[in-house]
Amino acid sequence: MSNRGHLPITARIRACPVQSKTVSFWSFVTWRTDPAKVKQWSTIKTTLPRLPPYYERGATNTRRLELRPFNDDSHDLAALHALRTDDKVMHWSPQGVVDADMDETYAENLQCFVPPLNAENLIYAICLKSTKEFIGYGGLCRLPGRLGWPEVSFGIRSDLWGQGYATEFLEGFLEIWRRLPREIIMIKVHENTVYGDREIKDECLAGIPTFDNVACHRVLEKSGLEKRVEFDEYNRRRKKNEGRHGWVMTKSNAHMRLCPRHVT
């Protein structure tokens, strides 16, 4: 779950039948597609969010959750380590195994979520609003992801699965993402994720679960993402190929879906 240590992968990407519908996302620790091995890429002019500095990243509340920046302290480290030593949670991560110790959790995760290493990601601790209890984490990495677009990811404690927290987090985070300031930029993205007929193409945010992560696909679809790409990537930790679906949401669609929602 970070922007560090990206390793190349061998990928086979193919167009996915366009379906007008779209978990735990784990693109913070990921193996990025090697563009030299993929032919279906387009260089476009679009927008990307400008991430606010840490001191401007306040808490955001949804109906049951508080999304807040991580603190560089022992409390957040212990909570994050407990999540990342949950076998059920880590099964869906590219890492595939639990963290070895607190040092790994700090060096590979928490350290990347706080200054000075968090400039290119926007990661929140997910807490219950009523008790402030830590139940997960999620957010985005601004660096180019496997489809060229920033990727959103999250993980929720396994004892709380099935209660709608993943969907509530994602919809709250999409509202944060929608409101961020933008800058115009030229980037290379997968051609099946290019939207719009104007010079400046629609900005997208991607989520990339494995084929068998059914719960993730449901959360993405509920939140309005569309499945646009399928590809295989070699996971070096698991030593096997994994099939993945690439889901995306445009900023304009997020605006239409999220404007009425109550996020403070």
Domains and CATH numbers, the chain: 7-258 (3.40.630.30)
What pLDDT shows up at residue 263? 56
What backbone torsions phi and psi does residue 6 show, to the nearest 5 degrees?
A: -65, 130
Element (H, E) at 187: strand 182-190
Q: Of 52-61, 92-101, 220-229, which range is least confident?
A: 92-101
Q: Letter for the amino acid at 15? A: A
191: its two tokens: 């051609």
What pLDDT shows up at residue 3? 35
Residue 262 has pLDDT above 70, yes or no: no
pTM: 0.83
What pLDDT shows up at residue 86? 97
Residue 79, SS3? Answer: helix
Asked if 60 and 73 count as a contact pair (C-beta separation under 8 A), the reply is no
Residue carrying structure tokens 């949804």: 62
What pLDDT shows up at residue 255? 73
What pLDDT shows up at residue 9? 28
- In 3D, which of 205, 228, 235 has the Cα closest to residue 33? 235
Q: Write out pLDDT tens, residues 115-127.
A: 999 999 999 999 9
Residue 194 has pLDDT above 80, yes or no: yes
Percent of the chain exceeding pLDDT 90 equals 70
What pLDDT shows up at residue 92? 87
